[in-house]
Amino acid sequence: MELKRNTNTQSIVKGLLITSVIFFHATMFSDLPNYTNVLSEFSILMTLFPFLMMVFFFYAGYNYVPGKRSIGQNIKRRTLQLLIPLVITFIVSTLLIMAIKVPNGESMEGIKNAVLYSLMSEPLSLMIGFPSNGVITFDLIVGLGILWFLYALYIVSIFFYLIIDYAIKKPSRLFSIIFGLLLIGFSLGQFVGTYLPYTVQCYPVVLAMMLLAAYLKKFNFLDRKVESKRDLGYIIINTVAAEAVVAGIGLFGYFTYQSTMLGALPGGMFNSRIKGYDAFISFGIGLLGTYAIHQVSRILNIVPVISNVLDWYGRHSSYVYLLHPICLSFIHTIMFGQRKMMGGATPYVYTFITIGMLVVIFLLIDFIIYKIKNSKRDKEEPVIS
């Protein structure tokens, strides 16, 4: 038996995980001004799915096709994909959040400080104590802070393209490079800092993950054929085992060391208690977690309604990622008047409304694109008289 593949499994995964990202940030918004509590409190979400960001990095390496483009072409393509959206999003997010916050009492000084804070990167800003007056717009920090993923992926991708073809020729060479990269990540976290400027501490770990993913693609690691019920059974057993290990590590870290978000790399940060060891944990959790969530999504393909919805939503995941802080700012400031009106249910309400807003936006955009394409097609078709 073959698992039906009516939709793109990676899009389903992205649809599931991007919702978790929204919830994580919604929790921060709903607990203002104590938003940092989310990093130190126990979270079942981050215990079960600490691999949120590593999955996206894994896919970036897994989707690499050897020989399809030259190194220069790949870097140029990544520049267009990541750097241009980064600049546009930085400008648009600043203007939109400013339009939301300033009429509701936010000072321009807070906006300016948030922009400078983000340009310097949060780790560097924290190191030098900026801003000294404490006036800063949190909404804009989140809106611009999420861009760390884009510039981290861009920088790491350059190194990836430079060495990937050389690295995957020999397994011994590949695993030596991966171990060396993890050792560098460990050393940075253990002896330099767990949260360094521009999140450089996580770059070696991300590069190691992308290299391994590209190598595993050769064996169709994520999408091996299911030809019998026994094959399906193995997938289910392996998926449950992988997720059990991930959750077990998270629970062990929390109850033994009071370490929250172990292996999660929030904003590229290593765990402050585990320090450099989090480089190895993040790598292992990223591999196991990607396998588990991908197999769950393959099975979801059997249910057309669910898979089609998640596939459509997941194909818009990059826009969801970039736009959701603006929606959260609007909800928190305009709709709720910066008041925690729903108690513990607030982050769930924020998440639900944000998803609703984004779905409406994407439906409108898709409808407009559909109309434009149909209009062009009608003009191009010859008139038969």
Q: Is the pLDDT of residue 142 over 80?
A: yes
Indicate the pLDDT class of residue 3, thresholds 50, 70 and 90. low
pLDDT at residue 321 in the model: 94
Identity (one letter) of the amino acid at 151?
Answer: Y
Indicate the pLDDT class of residue 107, thresholds 50, 70 and 90. very high
Q: Which long-range contacts (CB under 8 A, 24 or more apart) does 251-256 make?
A: 251/47, 253/281, 254/42, 254/47
Indicate the pLDDT class of residue 385, thresholds 50, 70 and 90. very low
SS3 content of the chain, % helix, strand, coil (to 5): 75, 0, 25
Q: Is the pLDDT of residue 183 over 90?
A: yes
- Rounded to an integer, what distance in angstroms lies between the CA atom of residue 315 and that of residue 318? 8
pLDDT at residue 229 in the model: 87
Q: Return the sign of the alpha-carbon dihedral for residues 133, 139, 143, 146.
A: positive
Indicate the pLDDT class of residue 35, thresholds 50, 70 and 90. confident
Residue with tokens 């400027």: 197
Indicate the pLDDT class of residue 6, thresholds 50, 70 and 90. low
Residue with tokens 């585990």: 274
Cβ–Cβ under 8 Å, residues 364 and 318: no
Residues in contact with 319: Cβ distance below 8 Å, sequence separation at least 6, in sequence order: 358, 362
pLDDT digits (tens, 9 = 90+) for 316-342: 999 999 999 999 999 999 999 887 777
3-class SS at 195?
coil
pLDDT at residue 7 in the model: 63
- Rounded to an integer, what distance in angstroms lies between the CA atom of residue 11 and that of residue 149? 18
Q: Is the pLDDT of residue 124 over 80?
A: yes
Cα atoms found within 13 Å of the Cα of residue 109, Cβ hemisphere only: 6
Q: Is the pLDDT of residue 166 over 50?
A: yes
User: How buried is 36 (Cβ within 10 angstroms: 0-12 exposed, 13-18 middle, 19+ buried)?
Assistant: exposed
pLDDT at residue 381 in the model: 60
pTM of this prediction exceeds 0.85: yes
Residue with tokens 């969530």: 293
Cβ–Cβ under 8 Å, residues 320 and 18: yes
Cβ–Cβ under 8 Å, residues 251 and 28: no
Q: Is the pLDDT of residue 311 over 70?
A: yes
- Rounded to an integer, what distance in angstroms lies between the CA atom of residue 347 and that of residue 349? 5
pLDDT digits (tens, 9 = 90+) for 352-372: 999 999 999 999 999 998 888
3-class SS at 217?
helix
Residue 116: count of CB within 10 angstroms of its CB: 13
Q: Is the pLDDT of residue 157 over 60?
A: yes
